[in-house]
Amino acid sequence: MLERFQHPGQVVVTGFVVAIAIGTLLLWLPAATPGAGSARLLDALFTATSAVCVTGLVTVDTANHWSRFGELVILALIQVGGLGLMTLATLFSVVLSRQFGLRARLAAQAETKALQMADIRLFVRRVVLFTLTCEALVAAVLTGQFALGYGEPFARAVYLGIFHAVSAFNNAGFALWPDSLVRFAADPWISLTICAAVIMGGLGFPVIFELARSWRRPRSWSILTRVTVGTSAVLLAGGTLVLAVAEWTNPATLGALSGPSRVLAGFTAAVMPRTAGFNNLDIAAMRPESRLATDVLMFIGGGSAGTAGGIKVTTFALLGFVLWAELRGESRVNIGHRRLPESTLRQTIAIVLLSIGVVTAATLTLLAITDHALDLVLFEAVSAFATVGLSTGITADLPPAAHLLLIALMFIGRIGPLTLGTALALRERTRRYELPEQHSIVG
């Protein structure tokens, strides 16, 4: 069937639109709210989009505005949005592999362990099994802590554990407390467990499965795995250091905690901008430099073919390698003992520039239709586009036009990088002639 899809991006757009439409209708039902009547259609649409796009931005408090039925609908939309995107990303890799010649396909398979058509069913089963296993393990730990550490009834603890395990692994960021995870900022069982789920979900399945096969042989890792693991580690370490230093004496965030708890909370705060969306600190009370650092972390996001959003750590790292090669005067971009093709570099630059353009245009629009300061609306725009879900608290107060803009940003941010990357790869053509060169002044 995959041969019939000349434009795979259409499959993604259609699937997400259908899922959002169904979720909106379900959340619009009277049964989705605890009181009489139904939720506002805009609130239902915003929440359904946020759940399917695994973002976490909300216009209403999840725990108090929605009934148990509404929460279960949100949970199902998160699972469909997260698992569905990863499955589609896997299928697209197969579609792309069939567009190239035999020699190129064999070389790509040896380098990336790419799937063949016969392997799709097995790989998808592995993806689903791994997802459910990780979510079950995280839910078990969270359930135990909620029941033993906080005295929740067992049934309630199980429900809380499952909901937040699915939300964390899929990098959705929906929480069933008004302050998200602020009350658990000093609890290592809750914080580190959710951080582990966020990181695992955000690495991407190609990387996870390759690490499972050859974690003892780093030299045999593909470029994707090397770049994803290395860049993720640097961003987590650097983000923790920047946020901890900036907020260490801030009494409204880390300053109120003990020394070890400050380190824990700083690390958690650095993990969440990978597009998880849980906030363990009051974002509105953060210092401007911390919010700017969070903007950068959100925009970069997590790994490819995973639950995370953003432009992806691989895209960010490839730009760094391009810069390094240019500074050294090299005509080719090399990573380890492999050379990156020029088509990949062009696609990287296109994705970054288009993403910057979308965020800039959205920020300008929000400034025009709201009265909030630049740093607040920029934070909101980046969070929506990168499908993070962190907010300074202004989401619910924005006008309907701004809510519609954020809905569009979440949708574009979720399907944009994948569909754009696929479209650029499928449009790759070999020109049978070359035009004469003419240099231009740069800089």
Give the tens place of pLDDT for each residue, 390-432: 999 999 999 999 999 999 999 988 877 656 555 555 555 566 7
Averaged pLDDT, 213-218: 84
Cα(83)–Cα(15) distance, integer angstroms? 12
Residue 346, number of CB atoms within 10 A of its CB? 12
- What pLDDT does residue 296 have? 96
Burial class of residue 293 (count of CB atoms within 10 Å of its CB; 0-12, 13-18, 19+)? buried
Backbone angles phi, psi at 335, to 5 degrees: -125, 115
Whole-number mean pLDDT of the chain? 85
- More reliable by pLDDT, 202 or 7: 202
Concatenated DSSP letters for 321-357? HHHHHHHTT-SS-EETTEE--HHHHHHHHHHHHHHHH
Cα(194)–Cα(171) distance, integer angstroms? 10
The percent of residues above 90 in pLDDT, for the chain, comes to 56
Cα(332)–Cα(349) distance, integer angstroms? 15
Averaged pLDDT, 117-143: 82
Averaged pLDDT, 269-290: 92
- What pLDDT does residue 120 have? 60
Contact (Cβ atoms closer than 8 angstroms) between residue 261 and residue 190: no
- What pLDDT does residue 46 have? 97
Cα(86)–Cα(211) distance, integer angstroms? 17
- What pLDDT does residue 90 have? 53
Averaged pLDDT, 102-130: 55
In 3D space, the residue among 109, 104, 81 whose CA is nearest the CA of residue 173 turns out to be 81
pLDDT grade, residue 16 (50/70/90)? confident
Which of 30-44, 272-286, 424-438 is predicted with the least confidence, judged by mean pLDDT?
Answer: 424-438
Task: Fill in the amino acid letter for 304.
Answer: S
Give the tens place of pLDDT for each residue, 230-253: 999 999 999 999 999 999 999 999
- What pLDDT does residue 442 have? 65
- What pLDDT does residue 251 have? 94
Give the tens place of pLDDT for each residue, 187-209: 999 999 999 999 998 888 888 88
Whole-structure pTM value:
0.86
Cα(368)–Cα(422) distance, integer angstroms? 34
Averaged pLDDT, 358-378: 95
- More reliable by pLDDT, 212 or 362: 362
pLDDT at 85 over 70: no
Cα(74)–Cα(66) distance, integer angstroms? 9
- What pLDDT does residue 423 have? 53
pLDDT winner (highest mean) among 70-84, 122-136, 214-228, 286-300: 286-300
- What pLDDT does residue 110 have? 35
